[in-house]
A and B are shown apart, each in its own frame.
Chain A
Amino acid sequence: MSAAPVLRKAKELNRAAALVTALERGNCDHCGDSLAGLKVVRRRFFAAPRELAFCCLGCAFIAEQLHLARVSSRDCAALEASVPPATQLVGASARLQVRIRGMVCAACAALIEHRLRREPGVIAAHVDFAMHRAYVSFDAQRSTPAEITRAIERSGYRAGSNEAEEKKAARIDLLRLLIAWLAMMQVMMLAVPTYFAAHGDIATDIEQLLRIAQLILTVPVVFFSGWPIVRAAASQLRAGQVGMDLPIVLGLSAAFGASVWAVLVASGPVYFDSIAMFVALVLGARWLQAKALRRAAEHIDVAERRTPTMAQRLRSFPASGAVDEVAADELRPGDHVLVPPGGSVPADGVVARGASTISQAWLTGEATPIDKNVADAVLAGSVNFDQPLVIEVTRAGAATSLAALRRLVDDAGRERPRVIELANRVATVFLWTVIVLTATTACAWLAIDPAQALPNAIALLVATCPCALSLAAPAALAATQSALARRGVLTARVAALQAAARVDVVAVDKTGTLTSAQPAVARVLLLRDRPLRRIIGIAAGLETLSMHPYARALSAHAAAAKIEPLAICDARVAGSAGVEAMVDGERYRLGRVAYARALTTTAFSDRWEQLPDLIDAHGLEDSGLAVLADRHGPLAIFVFAELPRRDAAAFADHVRATGAELILLSGDRRAPVERIARELHIDQGFANQTPESKRQRIAELQRDGRVVAMIGDGMNDAPVLAQADVSIALAEGASLAQARADFIVTSPRLADAACVFDAARRGMRIVRHNLAWALVYNAIAIPLAAFGLLTPALAAAGMAASSLIVVGNALRARRIAPREA
């Protein structure tokens, strides 16, 4: 940690303390500006002696952070580390998520993880190389965020984000790369003549001059450009681990030492060109790698950026329109907030006033704005487009769907897929093997031809590429996650991708999964000779009064057929039994059979007698019905049913195309289940299932060696989802927070759930390609180098190329079939 920021923080801290007396003079307690004429922000911090006044929320926020830091840490050095990006208390254990800077490859991540797990009080630690983040859960009694960040810094990396410093680090990284390439080209130019000249063709002093020039140009390559590699290897050694930087540094230092010696004594071969090329290529590969991983990670990270931090709270809605600017975290359920057009919604809630269109693209990946009217639910992070909205807060802060989503995504990487664990173990063994092989090669060549010993040992160290081995899986899986995220599918457990690639039975729930939870008008049976459009017009007119789900279905049906609801008067709503109203001077009732029948005069009551037979004849006993009647008897029967989602057929086809069997597990009665199964060509439909019998059925399939995926709504199906090898929950908006599954489909399209299997298969195939490639490459390169058939320069090119091929291949997993419109 450099001294300057610590000193600056300390100075700020003192200032905050000194300014405690500033209130009397009417100045801001943080920046010291006059408060005259400003809307003063008053805060009382935890364990603070008195209330403080600030000129703006920004000052209040900074002062609070400083205050908390002062309360929780004893010294200034801890202060810098103790302002982590996110800590969260969960019972006695706390979770910390912190950015890590200075990691150069996947081995660094493993190293930090290893160090963190040995820290006292740390319960679990996971370091994500692609996202440059550490996720640590620790016992709040035995450790603090400051302790943990210090442990990270002790292992040679930097914790916490500091934008200015990060920017500078990024610039220096780029500079290292550019300097290495510039020097490499020049060194090559100076080295080439010595390759092509016959012995004695170049005067010795010219040759010496060329070598000195090469040395001068190679020094910045080794000590500036290559420095991160040296540092990483050193910290790996200190931690008692062998990382993939170690063989690189061994090779580099052997080559550099021998070359410098050769220049000093003016005899012997120099390898400056190999060194420069190696460093340039390794840095180039890593730079591209970092760029690629960042791109793969950006979709996973997208929800992070959408949180509004401020909210406009209405002081006393609906009495007045006065607005307080408050921090979004301070909102409580029941508060009313104003969301201006173009603003984002600060908390989950319900529209209390206004109508507008909003975009929930952060959640669903769906760019089309959705209409929101009074009583519609809106989610934090959504963007309001047209009109100002007043929203009554239902969930705020950490309880919002957005926060829940972020936790889900944060936790996703906690459990590492077996394939990554395996690759890492192989890489460690591999590194030792390489070091032993190098020693053997050097010894053998010393006996055969001492002049060849050094170049061959260097070639062997440089040619082997454990990077390809340990990068193969994580890069491909990150790319797969990113591809899914773009389709609105969140990966809540990365480890599940491995199982998802092998799924051969897909079990789906019916209500809310294959069908939309809202009923729809399935059929209209006309009982008397009236035009259908008029009947629907009357029914829709009557139902304008009712909020019953059937009423909504009827209105939607009329709207879809472009039928205007007819004007009604003298209307009465009889609870859930039905509605009565006058249309064009005629009285109508719409609702349950008994309710509608009561309107009919006794003279026409025989018209009702045939109704039960009619219902039987059409096989409708199990369906939801509403009857429209006037004084002369029944007019029409409206049959309501759950309709399959519009893309249910596409989903079923998609699943079948992956070669998996599709089965339907439903708690519903036999008739509707069979109808849906028939409509979607589903092989097996099981009706009347309880959650327990669904679970057993899945367990049975698993006993037969099948890999089962379950798709449900994520709440009612919890035990079933837990039993399945892969669980996929369809969570629309509000239900997101409760959803528990490996994958969560946030888009309204069911077909997106099916792409989990495709993407996982593709991702795992790429992982296998990568591992196979890394193994084949090393199997060829090692013997070639050991037997002296590979010059150090060629070895450097080979190693860098194999890293690049692995990363490039992994990025293919990002590509995913576009949505069908």
Chain B
Amino acid sequence: MHCGRGASRRARRDPRFAAVMDALYVLIPLSIVLVLAIGAVLVWSVMSGQFDDLDAEGRRILDEERHK
């Protein structure tokens, strides 16, 4: 989004500017969908227990013999 104060006035006269702005109508909802998808992956990964014991991996190297 190139809406900076100095550049914007010139940019708005550019015919390509309108096309960029129009793309936002698709891109913003798309980013929301993407975030929701990431959120869903997050829900799945947490609820499947992947973050239950964050220390275990660090400790595992120490008692490798017992839990092969």
Interface residues of chain A, those whose CB is within 8 Å of chain B, are 167, 170-171, 174-175, 178-179, 182-183, 186, 190, 193, 196-198, 201-203, 206, 209-210, 213, 216-217, 220
Contact = CB atoms under 8 A, between A and B. Distances in A.
Contact of B35 (A201, A202, A217): A217
Given A182-B42, A203-B21, A213-B29, A167 B3 contact: no
Nearest to B35: A186
A174 B43 CA distance: 10
A186 B25 CA distance: 17
17 contacts: A167-B49, A170-B52, A171-B47, A171-B52, A179-B42, A182-B35, A183-B39, A196-B5, A197-B3, A197-B8, A198-B5, A203-B21, A206-B21, A209-B25, A209-B28, A210-B28, A220-B39
Contacts of B4: 196
Given A196-B4, A202-B3, A213-B28, A178 B42 contact: yes
Interface in B41-57: 42-43, 46-47, 49, 51-52
Closest 3 CB pairs of A and B: A175-B46, A197-B3, A186-B35
A406 B49 CA distance: 32
A178 B51 CA distance: 11
Contacts of A213: 28-29, 31-32
Contacts of A175: 42-43, 46-47
B5 A216 contact: no
A210 B24 CA distance: 10
Interface in B1-41: 1, 3-5, 8, 21, 24-25, 28-29, 31-32, 35, 38-39
A179 B39 contact: yes
A406 B32 CA distance: 53
A190 B28 contact: yes
A193 B39 contact: no
Contacts of B8: 197-198, 201
Given A171-B47, A197-B8, 9 more contacts: A167-B52, A171-B46, A175-B42, A175-B43, A186-B31, A186-B35, A206-B25, A209-B24, A217-B35
B16 to A, nearest CB: 15
A183 B43 CA distance: 13
A197 B8 CA distance: 9
Nearest to A177: B46
A182 B39 contact: yes
B29 A182 contact: no
Contacts of B31: 186, 213
A171 B3 contact: no
Contacts of A201: 3, 5, 8
A200 to B, nearest CB: 10
A198 B4 CA distance: 8
B47 A183 contact: no
Contacts of A217: 32, 35
A190 B30 CA distance: 13
Given A196-B4, A201-B3, A201-B5, A171 B32 contact: no
A175 B47 CA distance: 8
A168 to B, nearest CB: 8
A220 B36 CA distance: 10
Contacts of B1: 193
Contacts of A202: 3
A40 to B, nearest CB: 34
B28 to A, nearest CB: 5
A208 to B, nearest CB: 11
B3 A216 contact: no
Between B3, B47, B49, the greatest number of chain A beta carbons within 10 A of the residue's beta carbon is seen for B3
A331 to B, nearest CB: 30
A174 B28 CA distance: 27
B51 A174 contact: yes
Contacts of A193: 1, 3
A174 B47 CA distance: 10
Contacts of B32: 186, 213, 216-217
Contacts of B35: 182-183, 186, 217
A227 to B, nearest CB: 15
A174 B38 contact: no
A376 B42 CA distance: 57
Contacts of B24: 206, 209
Contacts of A220: 39
A196 B8 CA distance: 12
Contacts of A216: 32
Contacts of B52: 167, 170-171
A253 B63 CA distance: 50
A213 B42 CA distance: 20
A318 B35 CA distance: 72
B24 to A, nearest CB: 6
Nearest to A220: B39
Contact of B49 (A171, A190, A197, A210): A171
A179 B51 CA distance: 14
A182 B24 CA distance: 21
A163 to B, nearest CB: 12
A207 B3 CA distance: 12
Contacts of A196: 3-5
Nearest to B1: A193
Given A203-B21, A206-B21, A174 B46 contact: yes
Nearest to B46: A175
A183 B35 CA distance: 8
Contacts of A197: 3, 5, 8
A711 B38 CA distance: 60
Contacts of B43: 175, 179
B39 A171 contact: no
Contacts of A186: 31-32, 35
B43 to A, nearest CB: 6
Contacts of A182: 35, 38-39, 42
Nearest to B34: A186
